């Protein structure tokens, strides 16, 4: 089976006013088709940089990145869609028009893109908000619109960089449940970045722990438990304790 995402020995340095900063060092990762893989680690460990490499937004200084067996040389919305912490909606476009945006940029005819976006509103829970503008939506709704925009282009891979980070805890939990339902029905490959242990364990098939900068892969935790997961079960409590021990060590290193 060809991995959806293959990262081999990538490295990245950034030039700053105080000198070069090594963001990533010799990072290798393979993500299978249909997997929900989560990156977690201390702030500044290069999670977003790695996601940017997969999305073709950040060129590696060394190593290589392949998507569906082909080298990444730049953004490719036909294969990869991205969702960020800021929904990035256009305030002058309605919910339906924002969901259509990616298809419009791809030159999809108006009737076809309108049908695709309309069909998505029901599973997004936004059917009754099709003609609302972003200012009329809650934070969770705006993020669902952003996810809908990514799903509309039907790319097999979806990159998600802390998509629920700006939401309150209750909305964040509900959005996690909603995303899990969408993923289980579409089985797209998801590479997800979060700081939340709960999110990582509740959603993922695998959790990848990264070290403090320069970011490397410290450990990979398989979460082979049925959905929806009982987060207070003995197995999940033990997994959370082990994951926290790994991340705590790196977070302490990052603070030194």
Beta strands per DSSP E along 84-164: 157-161
Rounded to 5, what percent of the chain is helix, strand, coil?
40, 25, 35
CA distance 250 to 256: 10
Q: Measuring CA to CA, which residue among 210, 150, 158, 159 is closest to residue 187?
A: 158
Identify the pLDDT of residue 85.
85
Q: How confident is the model at residue 10 (pLDDT cuts 50, 70, 90)?
A: very high
CA distance 2 to 228: 28
pLDDT tens-digit profile of 153-191? 989 999 999 988 888 888 888 888 888 988 998 899 999
pTM for the full predicted model: 0.93
Question: Which run of H or E residues covers position 215?
Answer: none
Residue located via tokens 């892969």: 217
Residue 110 CA, chain-centre distance (Å), reads 28
Q: What is the dihedral of CA 57, 63, 67, 72, to 10 degrees?
A: 40
Domains and CATH numbers, the chain: 1-77+188-256 (3.40.50.300)
pLDDT tens-digit profile of 195-221? 999 999 999 999 999 999 999 999 999
């Amino acid at each position: 089976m060809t991995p959806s995402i293959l990262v081999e020995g990538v490295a990245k340095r950034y030039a700053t006013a105080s000198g070069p900063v090594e963001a990533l060092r010799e990072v290798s990762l393979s993500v299978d088709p249909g997997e929900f893989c989560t990156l977690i680690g201390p702030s500044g460990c290069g999670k977003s940089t790695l996601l940017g490499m997969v999305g073709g937004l950040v060129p590696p200084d060394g190593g290589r990145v392949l998507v569906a067996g082909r080298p990444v040389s730049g953004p490719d919305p036909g294969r990869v869609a991205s969702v960020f912490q800021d929904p990035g909606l256009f305030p002058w476009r309605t919910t339906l028009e924002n969901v259509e945006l990616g298809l419009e940029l791809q030159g999809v005819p108006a009737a076809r893109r309108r049908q695709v976006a309309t069909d998505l509103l029901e599973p997004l829970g936004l059917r009754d908000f099709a003609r609302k503008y972003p200012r009329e939506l809650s934070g969770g709704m705006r993020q669902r619109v952003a996810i809908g925009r990514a799903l509309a282009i039907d790319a097999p891979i979806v990159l998600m960089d802390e998509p629920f980070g700006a939401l309150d805890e209750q909305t964040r939990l509900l959005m996690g449940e909603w995303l899990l339902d969408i993923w289980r029905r579409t089985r797209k490959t998801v590479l997800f970045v979060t700081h939340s242990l709960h999110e990582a364990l509740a959603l993922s098939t695998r959790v990848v722990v990264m070290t403090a900068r320069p970011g490397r892969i410290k450990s990979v935790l398989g979460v082979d438990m049925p959905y929806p997961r009982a987060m207070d079960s003995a197995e999940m409590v033990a997994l959370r304790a082990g994951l926290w021990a790994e991340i705590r060590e790196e977070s302490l290193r990052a603070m030194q």
